[in-house]
């Protein structure tokens, strides 16, 4: 396991991360388009080599996970990937171990699965809101690591993104959603409540990054105040990882 | 571990007659208590070919509520199973909270048989015990009662049973070249299995070696141990069990 270090060589904490990295519109359009084309090609390489790819997207509410995913897959053949939006467990999912619903959604070889929120919910929302007991979320780090190692051993490529924004940026986006009629549905009382617990979540994320950063499945912390920057970064990081693993 | 067991244990006709229904009734009561308190139970049966897993499963499952108990059979992995991490096919069929799952063969297939058969590589074989221990630990921590049984018979007995099966027209398909190869390599497998049992024998999820030369003895033993362990699990959670004689009968 590898600890993410900041510039001073000390363990990274979210408060160290500057979420403000900008990108000019023209550069954004150019780089995104190139990246999407390349991703479309690499997906075929995944198929031919019978590997599989799993994306894990975590991040603050309104960080832009959904939009990021949409730009990531735009150049990919839709038969080759599936996006799984993850929320609180429902129905049968509540009758099993918490990882069961993710085992169910694993992609077979040659396919790609993208999780919009994931098994990390156990050590994030379930920890902060008390849906999981302390014993449960504390043992979850190792359970998650073992789960991910099995995926890697079976030929999987795992990409994990934490989309990071500042609390000020989050507030700005919440207000914007409130005032935009076709986006207003996205803002719920839960979002405001989670915001009040910002510090608790930050603590949970720091521990998550510390304990689940595997060499074979590392986290990428994405500066997300600029959506353009974030989208290009996730696409280009994906390309670099896939090229390294497949070519 | 296999050496510690005497193969010559059996049960008399009268013992079988006296106990069989009574134990099934008690199992029914304990299963209901587990169901009401959402405790998942996994009864995992491993053993030599023709050791009598089928007989034990039939005994455990008959007269129980079929809505709350499912038997899952795991032959060699199918082509679809190979598209996923190797434990995937087991996660798909685990018992839910409050349910009982009986596994006829299990993830132990990979530990006991598949390396020697050349189905998995050395790296995969090296990771297998660790994967198994981690998985059982996760399930146990989540509240699952896991009962692991190895049904043990001797090499000559196995050969004798194979010959019996081959005489029976309907069931002859069950004994193929592969079964006879395993019988010839009994000693080799015995070492591998003994080693595997030791590696995966933990305080939380121990193995129970069941001498199975007498299949009725084996069935009663497995039932008695299961009853004891379920009772313990309920006591740990301070759940009282109401014993009642089954009025409805077959």
pLDDT digits (tens, 9 = 90+) for A199-240: 999 999 999 999 999 999 999 999 999 999 999 999 999 999
The structure tokens 């449960």 sit at A136
Chain-centre distance for alpha carbon B44? 3
Q: Which one of B34, B42, B78, B91 would you mutate to disrupt binding with A, by most A Cβ within 10 Å of its Cβ?
A: B91
User: A 56-95 residues with CB below 8 A of B?
Assistant: 92, 95
pLDDT digits (tens, 9 = 90+) for A176-201: 998 888 888 888 898 999 899 999 99
A175 in reach of chain B (CB within 8 A): no
Question: In which band, very low, low, confident or very high, does the pLDDT at B5 lie, cut at 50, 70 and 90?
Answer: confident
Look at A154 and B84 and tell me if their CB atoms are within 8 Å: yes
Q: Could you tell me which residues come within 8 angstroms of residue A80 by beta carbon, excluding any fewer than 6 positions away?
A: A43, A46, A47, A110, A111, A112
Residues of A in contact with B96 (CB under 8 A): 92, 95-96
Percent of residues, chain A, with pLDDT higher than 70: 98
User: A 214-243 residues with CB below 8 A of B?
Assistant: none
Minimum-distance CB partner of A96 among B80, B96, B124? B96
User: Is the pTM here over 0.90, yes or no?
Assistant: yes
pLDDT at B197: 97
Q: What is the mean pLDDT of chain A?
A: 94
Task: Compute the Cα dihedral for A143, A146, A150, A152 and give only its sign.
Answer: positive
Over residues B186-214, mean pLDDT: 97
Look at A109 and B98 and tell me if their CB atoms are within 8 Å: no
The ipTM value here is 0.89
Asked whether the predicted pLDDT for residue B42 surpasses 70, the reply is yes
pLDDT at B170: 87
End-to-end alpha carbon distance in chain A: 24
Q: Could you tell me which residues come within 8 angstroms of residue B105 by beta carbon, excluding any fewer than 6 positions away?
A: B45, B46, B53, B73, B74, B75
Question: In which band, very low, low, confident or very high, does the pLDDT at B249 lie, cut at 50, 70 and 90?
Answer: low
pLDDT at B246: 67
pLDDT digits (tens, 9 = 90+) for A43-86: 999 999 999 999 999 999 999 999 999 999 999 999 999 999 99
Distance between A45 CA and the closest CA of chain B, angstroms:
17
Asked whether the predicted pLDDT for residue A3 surpasses 80, the reply is no
pLDDT at B7: 86
Coil, strand or helix: which one is A40? helix
Percent of residues, chain A, with pLDDT higher than 90: 84
Distance between A140 CA and the closest CA of chain B, angstroms:
9
Look at A96 and B141 and tell me if their CB atoms are within 8 Å: no
Minimum-distance CB partner of A103 among B91, B97, B127? B91
pLDDT digits (tens, 9 = 90+) for A113-126: 999 999 999 999 99
Over residues B172-177, mean pLDDT: 91
A139 in reach of chain B (CB within 8 A): yes
Over residues B188-211, mean pLDDT: 97
Residues of A in contact with B141 (CB under 8 A): 139
Minimum-distance CB partner of B83 among A95, A109, A151? A109
What angle do the packed helices B122-141 and B186-199 form, to 10 degrees? 40
Over residues B3-16, mean pLDDT: 90
Chain-centre distance for alpha carbon B112? 14
- A223 is written with which tokens? 């500066």
Question: In which band, very low, low, confident or very high, does the pLDDT at B210 lie, cut at 50, 70 and 90?
Answer: very high
């Amino acid at each position: 396991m590898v600890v993410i270090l900041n510039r001073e060589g000390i363990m990274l904490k979210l408060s160290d991360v500057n979420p403000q990295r900008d990108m000019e519109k023209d550069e954004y359009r150019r780089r995104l388009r190139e990246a999407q084309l390349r991703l479309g090609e690499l997906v075929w390489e995944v198929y031919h080599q019978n590997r599989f790819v799993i994306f894990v997207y975590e991040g603050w509410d309104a960080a832009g996970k959904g939009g990021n995913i949409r730009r990531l897959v735009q150049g990919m053949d839709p038969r080759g990937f599936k996006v799984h939006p993850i929320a609180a467990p429902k129905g049968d999912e509540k009758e099993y171990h918490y990882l069961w619903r993710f085992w169910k959604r694993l992609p077979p070889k040659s396919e790609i699965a993208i999780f919009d929120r994931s098994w990390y919910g156990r050590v994030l929302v379930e920890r902060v809101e008390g849906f999981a007991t302390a014993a449960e979320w504390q043992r979850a780090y190792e359970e998650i690591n073992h789960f991910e190692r099995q995926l890697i051993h079976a030929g999987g490529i795992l990409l994990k993104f934490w989309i990071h924004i500042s609390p000020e940026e989050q507030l700005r986006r919440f207000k914007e959603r409130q005032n935009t009629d076709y986006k207003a549905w996205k803002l719920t009382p839960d979002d405001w409540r989670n915001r009040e617990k910002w510090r608790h979540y930050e603590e949970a994320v720091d521990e998550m990054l510390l304990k689940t950063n595997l060499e074979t499945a590392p986290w990428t912390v994405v500066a997300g105040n600029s959506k353009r920057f974030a989208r290009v970064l996730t696409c280009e990081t994906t390309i670099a990882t896939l090229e390294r693993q497949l070519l | 571990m296999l050496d510690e067991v005497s193969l010559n244990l059996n049960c008399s006709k009268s013992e079988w007659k006296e106990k069989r229904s009574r134990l099934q009734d008690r199992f029914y009561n304990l299963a209901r208590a587990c169901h009401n308190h959402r405790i998942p139970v996994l009864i995992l049966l491993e053993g030599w070919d023709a050791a009598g897993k089928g007989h034990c499963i039939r005994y455990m499952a008959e007269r129980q509520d079929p809505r709350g108990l499912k038997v899952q059979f795991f032959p060699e992995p199918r082509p679809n199973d190979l598209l996923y991490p190797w434990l995937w096919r087991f996660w798909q069929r685990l018992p839910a909270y409050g349910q009982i799952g009986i596994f006829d063969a299990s993830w132990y297939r990979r530990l006991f048989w598949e390396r020697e058969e050349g189905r998995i590589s050395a790296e995969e074989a090296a990771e297998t015990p660790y994967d198994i221990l981690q998985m059982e630990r996760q399930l146990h921590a989540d509240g699952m009662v896991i009962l692991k049984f190895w049904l043990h018979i001797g090499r000559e007995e196995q050969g004798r049973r194979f010959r019996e099966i081959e005489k029976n027209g309907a069931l002859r398909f069950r004994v193929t070249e592969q079964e006879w190869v395993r019988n010839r390599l009994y000693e080799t497998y015995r070492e591998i299995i003994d080693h595997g049992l030791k590696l995966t024998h933990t305080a939380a999820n121990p193995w129970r070696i069941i001498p199975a030369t007498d299949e009725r003895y084996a069935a009663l033993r497995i039932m008695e141990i299961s009853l004891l362990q379920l009772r313990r699990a309920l006591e740990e959670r301070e759940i009282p069990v109401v014993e009642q004689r089954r009025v409805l009968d077959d």
